[in-house]
Structure 1
Amino acid sequence: MFRFAFHALIVLILTLLTQIGGIAYLAAVAASRASGLRRFLAKLAIFLLCYAGATFAASLAAPIFGRVPLSCVADAADRLVVRSPIYCLLNRNYVTPEVRDLAKALAAHMDREFPGTVTVALDANFPFVNGFPLLPHLSHADGKKLDFAYYYKDVDGAFLNGGTRSPIGYFAFEQPAPGDELPCKGRNDWLTTRWNFDALQPLFPAYRIEEQRTSAAIGWLTSEGVAKFGLQKIFIEPHLKNALGITDSHVRFQGCRAARHDDHIHIQVE
């Protein structure tokens, strides 16, 4: 009974983390038993082979279900990059073709306006099944959502091309200044993903948002992104929206139960 519960827990965790990892694990368990393997390293190798095969198969099958992968393999000429290979390893890099085209068009626009600028993508969606949660996000479940990193500069004001404060692009928050709008002040929701990670903040470098490029990107999203690609919403924190002078109604607050959005920009299409 314990062994069954242990395997079931691993399947659950791998499925929640990668969508297809649970299936790969079950295939690896079956293959290990059929071949009589007992050593841990041999079993791990079988799982990694099964997972790699499932991931490759997912990239081929996803277009049938209306999703395509954003590539984590970039060269020096690419202007749209995924922040870390971990997004592809966990199958979190899938979007609809419309969102992919929007992301590429944004990156091309930023390169034209600010030659050489790299636009950094973060979490997208899993390859299959509308409604399957991409934890800890509340809405990345249909291929129509994508997060971008902000554009950053160092403490001396020099632009950090392709750089982010966090190694994965998340959880390094821009703290509001005294007097800034704080829509969640005083709330203590017990069921929420609005985590502050106060203990982590001193570990991140003191980069700041590069206002010119960030404003230009949001300006393009709220104009060309809306008109040509069906962009519906952008989520950023109110204190950043005010600091950047953004008034467009497509830029909204995501609510107090969702994750903070002063470490990334969330976009979604209709």
Structure 2
Amino acid sequence: MLRLILHALAALILTLLTQIGGVAYLFALAAARICGLRRFPAKLALFLLCYAAATVATQFAAPAFGRVPLSCMAGAEDRLIVHSPIYCALNRNYITPKLRDLAEALATHMDQQFPGTVTVALDANFPFVNGFPLLPHLSHADGKKLDFAYYYKDAGGAFLNGATRSPIGYFAFEEPGPGEELPCAGHHDWLTTRWNFDALQPLFPAYRIEEQRTAAAVAWLTTEGAARFGLQKIFIEPHLKNALGISDAHVRFQGCRAARHDDHIHVQIE
């Protein structure tokens, strides 16, 4: 009974992390039993093989559900890249074709305005089923949401092409300065994903947001992005919106229960 519970728990965790991992795990369990495999390394290898096969198959099946993958196999000439292969390994790189076109058009625009500039995509959505949560995000559940990394510069002001402060692109926050807007001051919600990770902040490099490129990207999104691709909302923390001189109504505060957005830009389309 305990073994059955542990297998069910493993399948649930893998499903929450990757959407397809639970099915691959159960298939691998059945195959291992049929083949008489008992040793853990053999079972693990079989699961990884099943998961890899399912991941490849998903790339061909997802378009039937209205989603396409952003590629993690970027070449030297590509100007839109996914931050890490881990996003593709976990199937977190799927979006609607229209949102993919927006992302590619943004990257092309940034390259034209600032030659050689790379635009970095972060979390997108899972490949199947509207409403399936992409934890810890609250809204990445329909293929119409995508996070971008900010553009960064080093302490001396030199642009860092394709770099992020955090190894995963998240949780390295731009802290508001004295007197800047603090929309969640005094809020102590127990049910929230607005985590500050104060202990982690000293571990990240002292990069700063490159204001010129970041403001240009947001300006394109709120004009061309809205007109051509149906951009609906952008989430950025108020203190960064003010610092970048952004006043467009598409750029909003996400609320105090959602994650902070001074480590990434959240974009969603209609």
Scaled to the shorter chain, the TM-score interval is: over 0.9
- Shift of residue 94 of structure 1? 0.1
**1:205-220 correspondence runs (5 A):** 205-220=205-220
Distance in structure 2 (CA, Å) of the matches to 1:75 and 1:158: 24
Alignment of 1:37-186 (within 5 A): 37-186=37-186
Report the Cα distance in structure 1 between the residues aligned to 2:202 and 2:40, rounded to whole angstroms. Answer: 38
Please, what TM-score do these two structures have when normalized by structure 2? 1.00
Aligned residues: 270
Equivalent positions of 1:19-38 (< 5 A) are 19-38=19-38
Q: Cα deviations across residues 56-102 of structure 1 (Å, max 9, x unaligned)?
A: 11110000000000000011100000000000000000000000000
Counterpart of 1:156 in structure 2: which amino acid?
G
Letter in 1 for 2:133: P
Report the equivalent of 1:2. Answer: 2
Residue 266 of structure 1 is matched in structure 2 by 266
Distance 1:5 1:186 in 2: 42
Q: For residue 16 of structure 1, what is the amino acid of its counterpart? A: L
Residue type of the partner of 2:150?
Y
Partner residue of 2:251?
A: 251
TM-superposed deviation, 1:164: 0.3
Give me the whole-angstrom Cα distance separating, in 1, the residues matched to 2:194 and 2:80.
28
What SS does structure 2 have at the residue aligned with 1:266? strand
Q: Deviations over 1:198-235 (max 9, x none)?
A: 01101100000000000000000000000000000000
Q: Which amino acid aligns with 2:15?
A: T
CA distance in 1, matches of 2:16, 2:206: 33
- SS of alignment partner, residue 33 of structure 1: helix
- 1:168 to partner: Cα distance: 1.0
Q: Distance in 1 between matches of 2:159 and 2:137?
A: 29
CA offsets 1:128-164 (integer angstroms, 9 cap, x no match): 0000000000000000000000000000100000000
Whole-angstrom CA distance in 2 between matches of 1:35 and 1:145: 42
Question: Is residue 17 of structure 1 aligned with residue 2 of structure 2?
Answer: no
Which residue type is aligned with residue 143 of structure 1?
Answer: G
Aligned-pair identity in percent equals: 81
What TM-score comes out, normalization by structure 1 length?
A: 1.00
Partners of 2:10 and 2:176 in 1: how far apart? 39
| Distance (whole Å) between structure 2 residues aligned to residue 6 and residue 226 of structure 1 | 47
The answer for the alignment partner of 1:194 in structure 2 is 194
1:240 aligned partner = 240
Q: Secondary structure at the match of 1:28?
A: helix
Q: 1:196, 1:34 → 2: CA distance?
A: 48
Query: How far does the alpha carbon of each residue in 1:88-130 deviate from its partner, in whole angstroms, 9 at most, with x for none?
Result: 0000000000000000000000000000000000000000000
Distance, in Å, in 1 between the alignment partners of 2:159 and 2:17 is 33
Tell me the SS of whatever aligns to 1:267: strand
| Structure 2 Cα separation of the partners of residues 57 and 137 of structure 1 | 25
Tell me, in whole angstroms, the C-alpha distance in 2 between the residues paired with 1:52 and 1:18.
Answer: 12
Runs of 4+ in 1 over 6 A off after TM superposition: none
SS of 1:232's equivalent in the other structure is: strand
Unmatched runs of 5 consecutive residues or more in structure 2: none
Aligned letter for 1:63? P
Q: CA deviation at 1:39?
A: 0.7
When the two chains are superposed, the root-mean-square deviation of aligned CA atoms in Å is 0.4
Aligned residue in 1 for 2:226: 226
Aligned to 1:146, the other structure's residue is in SS state strand
Per the alignment, in what secondary structure is the counterpart of residue 234 of structure 2?
strand
In structure 1, the residue corresponding to 2:194 is in which secondary structure? Answer: coil
Deviation per residue, 1:171-219 (Å, 9 max, x gap): 0000000111111001110000000000110110000000000000000
